[in-house]
Amino acid sequence: MRARLSALVNPVNRLISAETIQTAAEGIYTCAYPLALPYRLQSSNRACSMSRKDLELARDLRERGGIDLEGCFVDGTFAPAKKGGGCVGKTKRGKGTKIMAIADGAGLPVAVCIESASPHEVTLVDRLLRNRFLQELPERIIGDMAYDSDRLDRSLEDIGVEMIAPHRSNRVRPATQDRRPLRRYRRRWKVERLFAWL
């Protein structure tokens, strides 16, 4: 445990993780430019994909033990886009974009994608996993009550990922989560911190 923590505190690892976070933030904002921006600037990075250098940085950090895929955290946040643009959808809060992210056990980004704000977060988890920076899948993903979905649990179980989310208070079907895995839910603040970094 101490070795893993010291690896995260190492300045080289901190530099790489900062570069990875910066790249993730640039990827998010450049692929969802507002319509007010000139078209030539909008098309500069429409694909929203990680470059080979970024993937190599993430792989290097993973090999040195700087990325913990044992327990990852998923969440989404709303970014208003009143003038429209790519990946913009209507919600009760107005037009906007949904930024989805998976953070590892230390709060570093493992996957980031943006979508229209209209679809529910549960439906975006599969796309989010396809946009991950590493080839390996997380062992388990911890989310809030919005991710309490039996269909999502089954689809993730098929690819070998365990979904941990507390049940909603209005749940009708039998419980599928017990208290032991839910202890990890207490550390979900790390994905919130990732959004604060972005």
What residue spans define the domains of the chain? Answer: 2-197
Choice between 9 and 59, residue whose per-residue pLDDT is larger: 59
The pTM is what?
0.67
170 burial via Cβ count (<10 Å: 0-12, 13-18, 19+): exposed
Q: What is the pLDDT of residues 17-70, one digit of tens each?
A: 445 445 554 544 444 444 444 443 344 344 445 567 767 777 777 777 777 788
From residue 17, alpha-carbon distances to 3, 73, 104, 108, 160 in Å are 17, 17, 12, 7, 26
138 close to 62: Cβ distance less than 8 angstroms: no
31 close to 88: Cβ distance less than 8 angstroms: no
